[in-house]
């Protein structure tokens, strides 16, 4: 709902790595909010697909600052759960405009 409040058209949520990969390849995303863990599976394959498609994304995690496994998850803006609407908006703006927007620097 926060994303919709910002004026975003939301393509999800999706609950599995497979569904997320389909969304990346079929939806033409302009950005993504990616949970670090989907039902016990790392979202690293999704991060790699987003990066390859040059889609900026933010990683949401309940694991704080610990390593999430995989460079694609480490080198993008991260937000710790629970987060406020203000934190989400600022982090998304960083992802869209920052040097780690899913593209190689």
Q: In what order do the strands lie in the sheet with 32-35?
A: 32-35, 57-61, 78-80
Going by the DSSP 8-state scheme, the letter that residue 8 receives in this structure is: P
Element (H, E) at 55: none
Domain ranges of the chain: 2-97
Residue 40 pLDDT: 85
Residue 99 pLDDT: 55
Superfamily of domain 2-97: Response regulator (3.40.50.2300)
**Residue 69 forms beta bridges with which residues?**
none
Q: In whole angstroms, what is the distance from residue 3 CA to residue 92 CA?
A: 10
Residue 105 pLDDT: 34
Residue 76 pLDDT: 85
- pLDDT tens per residue, the chain (105 residues)? 888 888 888 888 898 999 999 999 988 888 999 988 888 888 889 999 999 999 999 988 886 555 566 676 777 888 988 999 999 999 988 888 865 444 443
Structure pTM?
0.80
Q: Which long-range contacts (CB under 8 A, 24 or more apart) does 20-28 make?
A: 20/46, 20/49, 21/45, 21/46, 21/49, 24/49, 24/50, 24/53, 24/55, 25/49, 25/53
Per-residue tokens: 32: 């993504």
């Amino acid at each position: 709902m926060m994303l919709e409040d910002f004026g975003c058209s939301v393509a999800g949520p999706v609950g599995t790595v497979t569904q997320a990969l389909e969304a990346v390849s079929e939806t033409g995303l302009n950005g993504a909010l990616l949970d670090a863990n989907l039902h016990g599976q790392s979202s690293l394959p999704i991060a790699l697909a987003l990066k390859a498609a040059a889609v900026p994304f933010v990683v949401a995690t309940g694991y704080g600052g610990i390593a999430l496994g995989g460079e694609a998850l480490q080198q993008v803006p991260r937000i710790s759960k629970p987060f406020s609407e203000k934190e989400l908006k600022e982090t998304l703006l960083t992802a869209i405009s920052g040097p780690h927007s899913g593209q190689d620097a």
